[in-house]
Chain A
Amino acid sequence: MFSLSEYLEKNIFHYNEEAFEEELLGYNDFKTPRNNLENKYHLKYLSKYFSKEEQKAEFYLTEHEYISKNYITDYSNYYSTCFEDYKRKCTRIHFFTFYSSQKGAFLNKLKQGILGRKVIVGGKKNNFWEKYYLGFIVINPIPNTFIGYTLFRHYNDFRPDKLREFWGVKRYKIHILGNEITISTLAFHEQDSNVGACATISIWTAFQIASEDYYVNLKSPVEITNDAGLINVDGQRMFPNREGLIPVAICTAVTKNKLVTEVRDFYERSNNSTSPNTNTYVKRLVNAYSGIHLPIILGIDVPENEKRVGHAVAICGHKFKEIGRKLSKDKNGISWKADYTFQIYFHDDQWGPFVRATFRNTNKLETPWSEVKTKDLSGNVEYRNIFTLDEKGVKEIKNGEINYAEVRMVIIPTFPKIRIPYEDIEHHVIGLDKLIKDAVIPLKDILLWDIKLCYSEDFKKKIRDFKISKEDNIDVKYSLVSKSLPKYIWVATLSLRGETDFISFIFDATGLINTRLLLYTYFYIPGIKKGFVNSFRNAYLKNRGMSEYFDIYEELFDKSIMEEDFFI
């Protein structure tokens, strides 16, 4: 029996990349050959993630004999039936950032945290766990694919950035040394091809958030792969899985867990098409569906020496670039907030959580998979992974030929009640954009659209909290927040260059297809509504019978006539 001090002394270590990798072999019960660690992308990723430039890990605490629910389910379904002995229990490793590398100073603060006391740093009282705890990794006692259930705090938790949104996250409870703490994150897991197909983990990740709803189960990788099909696409066995999954199998596994899927593929369109390119379309879909917080499965081709291989990741966040004074416009002359997305964050089971990917031209995506093709003096071709190079190395090879990942398809898990897809709303917004820009010519160059699917309660909260001046118009807000709305709504918001919201058009996301979906129109700026409504009604008589050309016009007019409080 150890005292607390003895226990901590024995189990707290200074984080050092090389020493940590050496220790991992032991935590993994020596099931993985040392040489295999060199090829493990996760360790390369972790060393960057915990570096001084990123999350700044200083110490870690090991917790042996840890029972991981996720691992033990797969253990009982698969590993326990092997001839070789695999342990039931795992090792959990907790990581901490700290202002000093002095172990004594850290232990002092940690003890105060364990006792539930505030720690004083720079004269301010802080909660130890909020200030220093980074998250944990479970090391499973199986060969090679040993990164188990992992929870790491996301970047915004430490360094808030208003241009960056992590929407596919939730609060997870963690119990550590008698303390219950919560962190905002999304669980991560490495793929083990013994118990799962390649895309299994991206589905598992999507279920993390969906399982907050009582009717969606949080299944283990074995259970998800079983749901994907009886046999593989080529007739081969599902376990161990060597051939991978096709998109339809992913959709089957998602649908068997009481969700539904929206699938989009990307292919060349004719030159005179007004459609956006693949990346722009992905940006719009990601932004649109981010409001329901379910991670989105992205199918990409990743480079692997001379070849390209299909891969799936789960998107859980994105980052915008600054919106300048002059708005960018698409081929139809419309400005979209989503088009300002320049990075996405995803869980990549082969690398790690919250992996950054940057959009490049057309369908190209710069991810840790990006490779550079170089030639040595003898003309021999070599492929180098750009992620593993330091800054100097990246500069040196910038002129080389870079093989980016390429976007192939997207699978959006949604709730069955959401029957109206994004494109049906964009269809209406194209009409609304024309109508409004022709009506307010002085503003036409600063109007920016943002289409989002969201819970009506979230939208009501946004309206409640929206303030444009000291004089808050409570009556107007109340007329919207008191309305009965469906659980899921599409909101198309027109803003003035993204600086302030201007008008929101609220559509029923649970409605029937090919029916009228517009529910309300909300004006954020006092005094705008009257002029809008009067002019609109006056113009209507001249435009009667234009539905053949302009269906949203008729819809807007009919709603405004039939429902007195349609304009709010």
Chain B
Amino acid sequence: MTKEVQDILEGRKKITFKFVNYNTPERKEELKAVIKAQKEVLERKEVDWQKLNTFIIKR
């Protein structure tokens, strides 16, 4: 285990959470990239069944 992680575990390095305000034009712009990535993840489920059924398992 690296010293950095060891320090966190043993409380020598404090972790402070500071959740940010996304309700600003700049932050909303950042979220657009997140939304695009999320949309693409869901699209990956879609199967091109016509192409898929040309794959014949023969060997």
Contacts of A240 in B (CB 8 A): none
CA–CA, A533 and B22, complex, Å: 17
> Is there contact, CB below 8 Å, between B41 and A243?
no
CA–CA, A388 and B31, complex, Å: 52
Identify A531's interface contact among B15, B40, B41, B45, CB under 8 A. Answer: B15
> Is there contact, CB below 8 Å, between B31 and A310?
no
> Is there contact, CB below 8 Å, between B41 and A409?
no
> Is there contact, CB below 8 Å, between A299 and B40?
no
> Is there contact, CB below 8 Å, between B28 and A542?
no
- Looking at chain A, what size class is its interface with the partner chain? 35 or more
Contacts of B47 in A (CB 8 A): 263-265
User: How far is the CB of A432 from the nearest CB of chain B, in Å?
Assistant: 10
CA–CA, A304 and B45, complex, Å: 31
User: How far is the CB of A433 from the nearest CB of chain B, in Å?
Assistant: 8
User: How far is the CB of A218 from the nearest CB of chain B, in Å?
Assistant: 22
CA–CA, A408 and B55, complex, Å: 8
> Is there contact, CB below 8 Å, between A246 and B37?
no
CA–CA, A496 and B1, complex, Å: 10
CA–CA, A525 and B28, complex, Å: 31
| Contact of A245 with B by CB under 8 A | yes
Identify A539's interface contact among B4, B19, B31, CB under 8 A. Answer: B19
> Is there contact, CB below 8 Å, between A549 and B35?
yes
Do A431 and B57 form a contact, CB below 8 Å, given A535-B17, A549-B22? Answer: no
> Is there contact, CB below 8 Å, between A423 and B1?
no
Nearest opposing residue in chain B for A549, CB measure: B31
Nearest opposing residue in chain B for A528, CB measure: B15
Do A248 and B53 form a contact, CB below 8 Å, given A304-B59, A446-B5, A527-B11? Answer: yes
User: How far is the CB of B13 from the nearest CB of chain A, in Å?
Assistant: 8
Nearest opposing residue in chain B for A349, CB measure: B59
| Contact of B12 with A by CB under 8 A | no
List B12-44 residues whose CB lies under 8 Å from chain A. Answer: 15-23, 28, 30-38, 40-42, 44
Nearest opposing residue in chain B for A540, CB measure: B19
> Is there contact, CB below 8 Å, between A247 and B55?
yes
CA–CA, A549 and B56, complex, Å: 42
Interface-located stretch among A69-77, A353-361, A434-442: A434-442
Nearest opposing residue in chain A for B9, CB measure: A468
Identify B56's interface contact among A243, A421, A427, A431, CB under 8 A. Answer: A243
> Is there contact, CB below 8 Å, between B2 and A499?
yes
> Is there contact, CB below 8 Å, between B2 and A275?
no
| Contact of A63 with B by CB under 8 A | no
Contacts of A549 in B (CB 8 A): 22, 28, 31-32, 34-35
Nearest opposing residue in chain B for A242, CB measure: B58
> Is there contact, CB below 8 Å, between A310 and B17?
no
> Is there contact, CB below 8 Å, between A310 and B57?
yes
CA–CA, A442 and B8, complex, Å: 11
User: How far is the CB of A542 from the nearest CB of chain B, in Å?
Assistant: 4
Contacts of B55 in A (CB 8 A): 246-247, 265, 299, 310, 408-409
CA–CA, A250 and B55, complex, Å: 12
Nearest opposing residue in chain B for A297, CB measure: B57
CA–CA, A426 and B44, complex, Å: 11
CA–CA, A178 and B15, complex, Å: 60
| Contact of A254 with B by CB under 8 A | no
User: How far is the CB of B54 from the nearest CB of chain A, in Å?
Assistant: 8
Nearest opposing residue in chain B for A533, CB measure: B17
> Is there contact, CB below 8 Å, between B56 and A434?
no
**A-B pairs with beta carbons under 8 A, tally:** 160
Nearest opposing residue in chain A for B33, CB measure: A332
Nearest opposing residue in chain B for A334, CB measure: B37
> Is there contact, CB below 8 Å, between B41 and A542?
no
Contacts of B51 in A (CB 8 A): 265, 267
> Is there contact, CB below 8 Å, between B38 and A431?
yes
User: How far is the CB of B40 from the nearest CB of chain A, in Å?
Assistant: 5
Nearest opposing residue in chain B for A233, CB measure: B56
Do A439 and B1 form a contact, CB below 8 Å, given A427-B41, A527-B11? Answer: no
Identify A274's interface contact among B31, B32, B40, B58, CB under 8 A. Answer: B40
User: How far is the CB of A391 from the nearest CB of chain B, in Å?
Assistant: 27
CA–CA, A245 and B53, complex, Å: 10
> Is there contact, CB below 8 Å, between A431 and B34?
yes
> Is there contact, CB below 8 Å, between B15 and A440?
yes
Residues 451-491 of chain A, each 1 if its beta carbon lies under 8 Å from chain B, else 0 = 00000000000000000110000000000000000000000
User: How far is the CB of A445 from the nearest CB of chain B, in Å?
Assistant: 10
Nearest opposing residue in chain B for A468, CB measure: B9
> Is there contact, CB below 8 Å, between B56 and A246?
yes
> Is there contact, CB below 8 Å, between A439 and B44?
no
| Contact of A500 with B by CB under 8 A | yes
Contacts of B11 in A (CB 8 A): 527
CA–CA, A430 and B35, complex, Å: 9
Nearest opposing residue in chain A for B36, CB measure: A274
> Is there contact, CB below 8 Å, between A439 and B2?
no
Which has the most chain B C-beta neighbours within 10 Å: A273, A430, A439, A538? Answer: A430
| Contact of A244 with B by CB under 8 A | yes
Do A275 and B40 form a contact, CB below 8 Å, given A264-B45, A543-B21, A550-B22? Answer: yes
Identify B19's interface contact among A438, A442, A446, A545, CB under 8 A. Answer: A438
User: How far is the CB of B57 from the nearest CB of chain A, in Å?
Assistant: 4
List A308-342 residues whose CB lies under 8 Å from chain B. Answer: 309-312, 325, 331-332
Do A535 and B18 form a contact, CB below 8 Å, given A198-B59, A274-B37, A304-B59? Answer: yes
> Is there contact, CB below 8 Å, between B41 and A246?
no
* 12 contacts across the A-B interface (CB closer than 8 A): A244-B58, A244-B59, A246-B57, A274-B36, A274-B37, A304-B59, A332-B37, A409-B52, A430-B38, A536-B19, A539-B20, A543-B19
- Known A265-B48, A275-B44; further 10 A-B contacts with Cβ < 8 A: A199-B57, A244-B57, A264-B47, A281-B44, A299-B55, A500-B9, A525-B15, A542-B22, A543-B22, A549-B31
